[in-house]
Amino acid sequence: MLKKRVITALILIAIVIAALFYLPSIGFKIFTGFFILLAAWEWGHLIGCSSLWHKIGFCLAILLALFATNYAAPLWILGGSVVWWLVALGWMILYPKGADFWRQNQWLKYLLGFVMLLPAWYGVNYLHDRPQGPALVLLLLLIIWGADSGAYFAGRRWGKQKLAEKLSPKKTLQGVFGGLVTAFVLAAVCIYAAQLQLGQLPFVGILILFTVMLSIMGDLFESMLKRMQDVKDSGSLLPGHGGVLDRVDSLTAAAPGFALGVLFLAGF
């Protein structure tokens, strides 16, 4: 399983980096939009939708909304997403309270799909369109990948104290620390190699920490949704990883938060 997971990850990383640095802005929007639509299709499985037409309709609605977000003000869509994730944090803390309400309200499940997927797409492309945009997106991805991989290996080696046992029994505090260290190391290498000018060092460090915390929240939140719906993975498209949604869960929270941080560091 680990070998399959690593091979799939390496292939995905190569494809994403190639798209990141060689596609023009519109091409990158289409590329990332394709993955968002795959995640939207899997969202139907995650929320227990059995109707093919409902899934198709949801994907079409997401596609139209992607076009609409091009005209949205960055502060509103990115800031609104961060506010939502603060609400989501409260929901996770209170879990399993609210589980019955979730299961009984299909409209809420579809609405949440928009709230999670659209700001992630917008955040990534907002970064890509800025000066040194590809390097900024790469920095975001390295923070997320570092946090995820570091937590996985540190948790397997030293993990003892559970982080959120009700949501994800395998995640540990030791894993979080390992993920933080890995994310900071990879971020430092990327910032130095790309000569990124993000502002004063303390604020950059806070932004990296903030992004790691959001990525963990995104991961835990999808775990909570899967528990409430009693499913293991969002899909099976990616060998060793599950579905596309299982790979972008951290990004759904981290991308808008990181983009908002860059917006503030750049002085709007």
pLDDT tens-place string over residues 41-94: 999 888 888 889 999 999 999 999 999 998 888 999 999 999 999 999 999 999
Q: How far apart are CA 33 and CA 35, in angstroms?
A: 5
pLDDT, position 238: 65
Those residues whose C-beta lies under 8 Å from the C-beta of residue 54, and which sit 6 or more positions away, are 44
Q: Do 63 and 55 meet the contact criterion of CB atoms below 8 Å apart?
A: no
Place of tokens 């003000």: 73
Question: What value does the mean pLDDT of the chain take?
Answer: 91
Angle between helices 244-265 and 201-229 (to 10 degrees): 150
DSSP 267: T
pLDDT digits (tens, 9 = 90+) for 13-35: 899 999 999 999 999 999 999 99
| Per-position b or e across 225-257, b if 16+ CB within 10 A of its CB | bbebbebebbbebbeebbbbbbbbbbbbbbbbb
Q: Is the pLDDT of residue 233 over 80?
A: no
pTM for the full model? 0.94
Q: How far apart are CA 60 and CA 35, in angstroms?
A: 14
266 or 109: which carries more pLDDT confidence? 109
pLDDT digits (tens, 9 = 90+) for 83-96: 999 999 999 999 99
Q: Say if strands 168-172 and 162-164 run parallel, antiparallel, or are unpaired.
A: antiparallel
Helix (H, G, I), strand (E, B) or coil at 261: helix
pLDDT category at 98 given cuts 50, 70, 90 is: confident
Going 41 to 103 to 215 to 123, the CA torsion angle's sign is positive
**How many residues are there in the chain?**
268
pLDDT category at 1 given cuts 50, 70, 90 is: low
DSSP string of 162-185, one letter each residue: EEETTTEEEEEHHHHHHHHHHHHH
pLDDT digits (tens, 9 = 90+) for 167-207: 988 899 999 999 999 999 999 999 999 999 888 889 999 99
CB half-sphere exposure, 41, CA atoms < 13 A: 12
Q: Is the pLDDT of residue 103 over 70?
A: yes
Q: In the chain, what percentage of residues exceed pLDDT 90?
A: 68
Peptide bond into 239 cis (omega under 30): no
Angle between helices 201-229 and 173-194 (to 10 degrees): 130
Q: Do 47 and 109 meet the contact criterion of CB atoms below 8 Å apart?
A: yes
Q: Which amino acid is at 148?
A: D
Q: The domain containing residue 39 runs over which residues?
A: 2-265
pLDDT category at 268 given cuts 50, 70, 90 is: very low
- What CA dihedral angle connects 178, 184, 187 and 192, to 10 degrees? -140
Domain count along the chain: 1
